[in-house]
Chains A and B, each alone.
Chain A
Amino acid sequence: GQSLEQPSEVTAVEGAIVQINCTYQTSGFYGLSWYQQHDGGAPTFLSYNGLDGLEETGRFSSFLSRSDSYGYLLLQELQMKDSASYFCAVLYNFNKFYFGSGTKLNVKP
């Protein structure tokens, strides 16, 4: 499998910007994805980076640097509904995803 590291918990206030980092092993790496999961719900897809650089989707952006084996998810204009767990996941050998341990984001008023 793969080893991915991300912070266990992050706290921020409404309207702020938060960055969740993810580092991974390079063996078999094809791309990096991010997923959001609310308590009691299934993970939902946020973004995928197959190439280096920044991908932007509304308030969420994701970045990948293959040379540094590193990526991040950037959440802007935080809202209370963004409180959830965020997982980075590596696409391994182009056919399956391995997930990081998850980052619990707490958004405070």
Chain B
Amino acid sequence: SAVISQKPSRDICQRGTSLTIQCQVDSQVTMMFWYRQQPGQSLTLIATANQGSEATYESGFVIDKFPISRPNLTFSTLTVSNMSPEDSSIYLCSVHVRGLTDTQYFGPGTRLTVL
């Protein structure tokens, strides 16, 4: 299993500013991901955070808007840049652990409100 923590748990930000969300895992994991979830909606994959190389972004998400760092196998950051109210959402970090089953563990999420 994996235990994931995220900071901050929530924030209220002004339009045009940036926020960096931190994700810490209690064990080394190869695959780490960032998702976004609007209240009552599904989880949308933003990108795969790759250790030692640039993140892999899904369609509709770009590095300039959502820069991601992955300096080691236990830590990653997601920055939401030049924020607008449309960026208000819950941002979740997750890791994929392979074993007898393929399991994905999620952090508690960061609730972002942009005014």
Chain A residues at the B interface, C-beta cutoff of 8 Å: 1, 30-31, 33, 35, 41-45, 47-48, 50, 87, 89, 91, 95-102
Contacts and interface: CB of A to CB of B under 8 A. Distances in A.
* Residue among A41, A43, A50, A89 with max Cβ neighbours from chain B (10 Å): A43
Interface of B: 31, 33, 35, 41-45, 48, 58-59, 92, 96, 101-109
For chain A, what secondary structure do more than half of its interface residues adopt (helix, strand, loop), or is it mixed?
Answer: strand
10 contacts: A41-B108, A50-B101, A87-B43, A89-B104, A95-B96, A96-B31, A96-B45, A97-B96, A99-B35, A99-B43
Given A95-B96, A96-B31, A96-B33, A43 B45 contact: no
A11 B33 CA distance: 32
Nearest to B43: A99
B113 to A, nearest CB: 15
